Amino acid sequence: MNLKNLLLSISICVVFAIIGGFLVGNSLETWFAEIRKPRFSLSLKGWYIVGVLYYIMTITILYQLLISKDGFQRKLAIWLTIVMIAGNEFWNYLFFGLKSTFAGFTGLIVFALLVVMLFITLWKFKKMIAWILFPYLIWLVYDIFWIYNLWILNK
């Protein structure tokens, strides 16, 4: 275990999470609690669990990349992972900060494409790390379907 790289991975995610929290404000407890949701929507507790799992996954991916041998694919994967983290926080701003289901839907499509790019890069670099991201790709299929229905319900 490389403590320095583990702490760096955790720190990167924590910094982005704090920035994301400022961008979102209290709209999770106010606006999101009041809008109409599809019947297959998770509870607020469920969304928090997904968020925690996302950060654990991201920390794990970053750590695995940081301890891997240097090379172009590794550097690209690290940058794409950081862009994914930033993109997630930007999506939170589009959806929660702007209180817009449409911006959330369109932003999630772009974000999902970025995650696919990261997955392909990880697959080329080290398949084991790509498999860590794979469940999140599956999650994004549900998430896109969910937010599309959310947008339609709240037009």
Range of the domain at 14: 3-24+42-153
Asked whether residue 149 is domain-assigned, the answer is yes
- Residue 29 belongs to a domain: no
pLDDT in tens, 13-65: 999 999 999 999 888 788 998 999 999 999 989 999 999 999 999 999 999 99
Report yes or no on 68 lying in a domain. Answer: yes
Q: pTM, whole model, 2 decimals?
A: 0.93
Helix, coil or strand: residue 41: coil
Mean pLDDT of the chain: 95
- The number of distinct structural domains making up the chain is 1
pLDDT in tens, 121-131: 999 999 999 99
> Mind giving me the DSSP string for 117-146?
HHHHHHHHH-HHHHHHHHHHHHHHHHHHHH
Q: Note whether residue 7 is domain-resident.
A: yes
